[in-house]
Amino acid sequence: MTPAARAAAAIAVLDRVLGGEAAEKALTNWGRANRYAGSGDRAAVRDLVFDALRKRRSAAVLGGGMTGRGLILGLAREAGQEAWFSGEGHAPAEPGPDENGREPDAEERLDLPGWLIPELRESLGDAFEPVAMALRERAPVFVRVNLRKGDRARAVAALAAEAITAEPHPLVETALEVTGNARKLQTSEAYLSGLVELQDASSQAVVAALPLLDGMKVLDHCAGGGGKTLAMAARAKLKLFAHDAAMKRMADLPVRADRAGVKVTLTDRPEAATPFDLALIDAPCSGSGSWRRDPEGKWRLTPERLHELTATQAAILDRVAPMIRAGGWLAYVTCSLLKRENAEQIAGFLDRHSGWTVERELSLTPLSGGDGFYLALVLRS
């Protein structure tokens, strides 16, 4: 496929996304209906679709409309590639007189929901605009080196043997940023043997900050796919339990744990295994720190949904607190940039529960290299 034909394909996918279909599903359906498209074509169309979603607001202004065509035309104009719209062969038709577009204003260029800008600005201070601009770009690809199976030097060498280039990232000792052939990762021997796992550098840094010691009984309460579960298991010999409100999210965790050489007990009733020395709550949140990876989340979030999320976070904190022994730790984590979900949520918890003290807080943004994350380490007296 030519670049112009890929642009036309991205337009078709984006029209479905704007109509309410999830981007991943729309891309999958397009791929099945266009089996002539090779892996390189599918990857290029995917990149265009997600770039357009990251820059949805400014691209629509540049392209003259909130349509798939408008978004891709806006991206093309920003990149100096309006020649894609030639109308020749499989290329999109030339722009019409009603598609002139205009330059985005200062707010539109941030590519954020307008209702959320004041709160993000208040939460981030001087970092607000640099963070907003970072969220418009693709996220780096990171892997975590499984310290139970090797160190960073061994992992770099193992990946290089399969033409995958990676280099150490300064945020945390286990992080490698993949700089070449990232799409080969999940079929590589380094990945299949458990030497490396896909995990954002900031997510790794959060786990590295936990006070984990051999022999501790630890609960990962909102485990999801288990990335942080396995990262904790690699740092100390733990009695490790994983729970998620939707148990099916953990379906692959036993296989991943076996590959990593660790043991994890899945539980649908963590209260039965109490008390814990440490409980990690990786709470459901706005995901604002990871909008580079999930740009749809940026536009799906509403004031009502954010209110629901903060209520859920408070309820989870209240549920987990009694499961922790005296002298034990509650580790509250979000991938949010909003104070409402972070420091203010912990302040509310302390107001509701006596005998707890915040020993450490860690705030990371995309300016640190990885996703935006927040961690509060709270000690029970």
Instruction: Show which residues are catalytic.
Output: 335
Other C-beta atoms lying within 10 Å of the C-beta of residue 255: 10
Determine if the peptide bond prior to 275 is cis (ω within 30°). yes
> What angle is formed at CA 320 by the lines to CA 347 and CA 309, rounded to 5 degrees?
60
Looking at this protein, which amino acid is placed at residue 3? P
Q: Which residue has the tokens 């039965």?
A: 272
Q: Give CA–CA dist 142/187, Å, rounded.
A: 15
Q: Residues 375, 329: contact at Cβ < 8 Å?
A: no
Q: Say how many CA atoms lie within 13 Å of 64 toward its Cβ.
A: 11
Contact indicator for 256, 226 with CB cutoff of 8 Å: yes
What are the residues facing 198 on neighbouring strands? 143
CB 139 within 8 A of CB 178: no
- By residue count, the chain amounts to 381
Find out whether 219 and 226 touch, Cβ atoms under 8 Å: no
Using DSSP's 3-state secondary structure scheme, residue 152 falls into helix
Task: For residue 234, give Cα distances in angstroms to 202, 211, 260, 298.
Answer: 16, 13, 8, 32
Residue-by-residue DSSP string for 275-296: -EEEEEEE-----GGGTTT-HH
